């Protein structure tokens, strides 16, 4: 099983490659994506949103910044 970090990195790679199908396949059928563009429920809605986004901004890329936080 992949870690959440691995999944996020895979998603960013797929998005950056323009592979919307691959990116959306990482979501569960009942997933909800909340973004500045709105709230999208289910894979079909997420696919439509990401497809429109990539068409409008084909050079946009996703970058992950992961912080390790510890409480003392």
**pLDDT tens readout for residues 27-65:** 999 999 999 999 999 999 999 999 999 999 999 999 998
For residue 20, give its domain range.
4-56
Residue 64 domain flag: no
Helices (H), the chain: 4-16, 20-25, 43-56
For 39-66, letters b (16+ CB in 10 Å) and e give: ebeebebbbebbeeebeeeeeeeeeeee
Domain count across the chain: 1
With cut-offs at 50, 70 and 90, classify the pLDDT of residue 2. Answer: low
SS3 68: coil
Would residue 26 count as lying in a domain? yes
Q: What is the pTM of this model?
A: 0.82
Residue 10 sits in a domain whose CATH number is 3.10.450.50
On the question of pLDDT at 1 being above 60, the answer is no
pLDDT bin (cut points 50, 70, 90) of residue 3 is confident
What's the pLDDT at 67?
77
């Amino acid at each position: 099983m992949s870690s959440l970090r691995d999944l996020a990195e895979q998603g960013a790679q797929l998005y950056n490659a323009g592979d919307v199908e691959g990116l959306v396949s990482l979501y569960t059928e009942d997933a909800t994506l909340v973004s500045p563009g709105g709230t999208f429920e289910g894979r079909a809605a997420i696919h439509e949103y990401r497809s429109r986004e990539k068409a409008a901004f084909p050079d946009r890329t996703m970058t992950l910044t992961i912080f390790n936080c510890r409480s003392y």
